[in-house]
Amino acid sequence: MQRRDFLKTGTMAGVGAGLTFLNFPVFGQQAPNNKIALGVMGVNSRGNWLAQVAAKLPGAEIAYICDVEDGAIQKGLKAVADAGATRKPEVIKDVRKLLERKDLDALIIAAPDHWHAPAGMMACAAGKHVYVEKPCSHNPQEGEQLVASSRKHNRLVQMGNQRRSWPNLQQAVKEVQEQDIIGKVYYARGWYVNSRQPIGIGKKIPVPSTLDWDLWQGPAPRKDYLDNIVHYDWHWRWHWGTGEVCNNATHELDCMRWFMDVKFPTKVTSFGGRYAYPPDDWETPDTQTVNFEFEGGKSISWEGRSCHPYELEGSGRGFTLFGEKGSLYNSGGDSYKVYDNKGKLVKEVKQQERNPGQSVTNVVSPAGEFLDAIHINNFLESIRGKAKLNAEIAIGHTSVMLCHLGNIAQRVGRVLHCDPSNGHILDDADAAALWSRSYEKGWEPVI
């Protein structure tokens, strides 16, 4: 089956809760070329890749590039051109001005974490649909606000937890939940490893002429520019980033939660710290183990090692489900193995398609173009009213909440007890203080 043929049929069946918009309240439906006009915010790395993938999809057009750094803008323009697009995107640096455009149908958000929820809320209020990269929020309150904004403005919001759209994992979920292939699942373990290097002590230097530092900070309270923040190492600073657990654990935690059919935990613990290198500006843990307990006698554990590449179970990332009759193993892609309780392999499903020449070491998309395209196309088909979102924002928020709770437990250094109906922290004022953040005056999110 060819990729475009699959995209026309393979994403029609949504998995889990979702929304269907049977109308088509977008400019693109009335346009002569019948294309959905997309804007991409943040195109230095992941957004650059998403722009390239989306530009190749039938019925989609990258109409706008939104970034605050000149080099990233050129990367984005080149990516769209290399994808064979006939239209050159217009560049608008300020997302607020971009959202005023009447011919913009949807916004793809791949800016730094502190921008995800605020930009998503702005887009919903402006009548645009949203595809937001993980994590969908910088803190738990923002996640709740983004869900509320989606509902208030009747906009579709999909998070980039793309495994929800992968066909083999969708099949595996059905086998676990409906066919009882490994019996009752009571425990799951996920992991992620990398070999990240020290980031040093940042030096205060003049802001490069190619960067709008004020717009880069956006909703975050203002700080001086340092030479080790842009483009990537903001991830490890609480002011803008959310650490490895939100950067990468989101995927495995989302899958484990999905397979086990659990939502918010009753108890959360976290152990770890910045262990691998001498003190530098890296604030979040580089080594972390987070444990979650849920109602019904179920628990999840995630281990992250940002600075040590030793693999677990033969893979740098993945998860294993443990059930009464056996286990299911995933190595990070759209594949899985099922074992009985004696360790005998009873079933293996391999990832079926990879674009010719697609590198398995692509750091912005290890899974490749095909699998990312399925998830983006599910978003587009949902806008058209032909599908349901596979990762509707309430699903994404619930999974990201686990990441935030892990970080909060780490920062306060003790067990968190939570309300299983919404994830809210019980009887811990210090932890509750980390539920939200302060904002630069005039940039406070508005639902």
Does 150 lie in the same domain as 196? no
Does 159 lie in the same domain as 101? yes
Domain containing 318: what range?
167-201+215-353+396-431
Report yes or no on 436 lying in a domain: no
Report yes or no on 361 lying in a domain: no
Q: Which CATH number characterizes residue 69's domain?
A: 3.40.50.720
Report yes or no on 155 lying in a domain: yes
Report yes or no on 439 lying in a domain: no
Does 114 lie in the same domain as 240? no
Provide the residue-wise pLDDT of the chain in tens; the chain has 447 residues: 344 444 444 433 333 333 333 333 434 343 445 799 999 999 999 999 999 999 999 999 999 999 999 999 999 999 999 999 989 999 999 999 999 999 999 999 999 999 999 999 999 999 999 999 999 999 999 999 999 999 999 999 999 999 999 999 999 999 999 999 999 999 999 999 999 999 999 999 999 999 999 999 999 999 999 999 999 999 999 999 999 999 999 999 999 999 999 999 999 999 999 999 999 999 999 999 999 999 999 999 999 999 999 999 999 999 999 999 999 999 999 999 999 999 999 999 999 865 433 333 444 555 568 899 999 999 999 999 999 999 999 999 999 999 999 999 999 999 999 999 999 999 999 999 999 999 999 999 999
Does 185 lie in the same domain as 157? no
Does 222 lie in the same domain as 136? no
Does 404 lie in the same domain as 274? yes
In one-letter notation, the amino acid at residue 247 is N
Does 330 lie in the same domain as 272? yes
Does 347 lie in the same domain as 300? yes
Does 374 lie in the same domain as 297? no
Report the domain count for the chain.
Answer: 2
Does 171 lie in the same domain as 34? no
Q: Which CATH number characterizes residue 171's domain?
A: 3.30.360.10
Does 334 lie in the same domain as 407? yes
Does 331 lie in the same domain as 231? yes
